Amino acid sequence: VVAFSKAVAQEHALRPGGVYADYLVRSQLAAVVNSTLFVHGGIDCDSLLWIPPDSLLLRADEAGDVDGRYSKDLSSWVDELNAFASRHVQEWLLDEDRGESGAAPGEALIAYQSRLATCGRSVVAAGYVRCRIPERPTRM
């Protein structure tokens, strides 16, 4: 725990070659082991086989739909989803912007975790309470 805390405190851990940068480079959003699909957070019928666009941006509302496409099969989807993540981790590490869109480096990958930005199609974070936040019970 102490070594981990020290690594977090060191800024170079996030730079290329740093412990967190290396972790992100090696990470996968999805993997199939034997006949089991593993994803980072959760999966539902809206997110299964959906590949987010490289132009995905964080946005404040769900107005409209997001471009993107569906992959032809599970194996292709896992490969394409991990390639999407890899491209945007590299973009972030190299601090490359995406030109006219004004997007921050790696923003598409950051946006992919947002159920708002993806119109609910993300395997990074599953939110099954969609209508409203449940009310807290009152104390007796």
Q: Read out DSSP for 29-69?
A: SEEEETTEEEESS---TTTTTEE--TT----SS--S----E
Query: How large is the greatest C-alpha to C-alpha distance in the chain, in angstroms?
Result: 57
Query: What average pLDDT does the segment 1-13 reach?
Result: 59
Give 72 or 19, the one with higher predicted confidence: 72
Smallest CA-to-CA distance from 89 within 38, 39, 18 is with 18
More confident residue, 5 or 34: 34
Radius of gyration of the chain measured on its C-alpha atoms: 17
With 0.85 as the threshold, say if the pTM is over it: no
List 50's β-bridge partners, or say none: 70
User: pLDDT of 31-78, one tens digit each?
Assistant: 999 999 999 888 888 889 999 999 888 765 545 577 899 999 999 999
Lowest pLDDT segment from 23-27, 110-114, 129-133: 129-133
